Amino acid sequence: MLAITALLAGPVPPVSADTPTIAVDGICVPLRTATITAPVQEIIDVMLVEEGAQVTQGEVLVRLRSRLQEIAVERAARILEKKEFDFNAAESLSADRIVSRERALNAEIDLALARVDYEEAEHLLNERTITAPFDGFIIRRYKEPGESIDRMEPLYALVNIDILTLQLFVEPDLAARLQPGDQIPFTATGDLPPQQPVAADADPADNPGDLQRLAVVEFISPAADPSSGLVRVSLRYPNDDHQVRAGTRVTAHLPAPPATTAPAAATATR
């Protein structure tokens, strides 16, 4: 019991070099994606970022035409200022019993309504300034300045690749050997740079440019897919250096079942 408790409390070690493994192909997807849309129907005044730009949460991306809303805010601000003056005057006169308490109450209600009108005008103005909901990269731009845009029509596609999720579909006997927290090595292929510098006289065949990484098992589906019989497994990979691209094909190396139960078509590697 003590050994089991210690295992659950501490980090789960990765698959060792001596552990038989089975290669399973999958794909990595970004943890956060968003299609940034227009909250109102309006003319686009300016679009401030291009495709490929890295943006931060709260950064202004788009400004819609807003002159009428700016005028409405100015008008509401002046009315609010007047209602505050009337309320303060009515409160003072009511305290001195010069005006009735009813008149002071009406002034208080007028002030509250003026504050609501001002907040509404500010909200309508702020809707014309569209900001990034989280840090990430702009991967697509749908519109240009001067175009008319409808409510909920897309402006940008935003993706955050600081954390990637590896999606695998595995045989049930492989899934049974995994648990949340397990560290699984994987290789991401493509035009990515090698993880370690390569010597000038090194054989290119010894360093194909793949990245050897470790991802952590985050979710194992309790149900298999009815059509394929496979189990979905999600692994989490911190990608702070952005060296692994979202959408890249990956090969994870999962602990192989015992030889007596391993699928006939599967080949275990060391």
pLDDT tens sequence across 88-130 = 888 777 665 665 667 778 888 999 999 999 999 999 999 999 9
Q: Does residue 265 belong to any structural domain of this protein? A: no
- The pLDDT confidence band at residue 222, using thresholds 50, 70 and 90, is very high
Q: What is the number of structural domains in the chain? A: 3
Choice between 263 and 41, residue whose per-residue pLDDT is larger: 41
Residue 110's domain is classified under what CATH number? 1.10.287
The answer as to whether 53 is a domain residue is yes
Q: Which of 108, 126, 144 is the last residue of a domain?
A: 126
Read off the pLDDT of each residue in 183-193 and give the average, rounded to a whole number. Answer: 73
117 lies in which domain range? Answer: 67-126
Q: Which of 113-127, 142-156, 197-211, 223-237 has the lowest mean pLDDT?
A: 197-211
Instruction: Identify whether 165 is part of a domain.
Output: yes
Please, which pLDDT band fits residue 210 given cuts at 50, 70 and 90? Answer: very low
List, as one string, the DSSP characters of the chain: -HHHHHHHHSPPPBPPTTS-EEEEEEEEEEEEEEEEE-SS-EEEEEE---TT-EE-TT-EEEEE--HHHHHHHHHHHHHHHHHHHHHHHHHHHHHTTSS-HHHHHHHHHHHHHHHHHHHHHHHHHHTTEEE-SSSEEEEEE---TT-EE-TT-EEEEEEEEEEEEEEEEE-HHHHTT--TT-EEEEEE-SSPPPSS---TT--GGG--S-EEEEEEEEEE-SS--TTT--EEEEEEEE-TT--SPTT-EEEEEEEPPPTTTS-TT---B-
Q: What is the pLDDT of residues 5-52, one digit of tens each?
A: 333 334 445 555 556 888 999 999 998 999 999 999 999 999 999 999
Average confidence (pLDDT) over 160-183 = 94
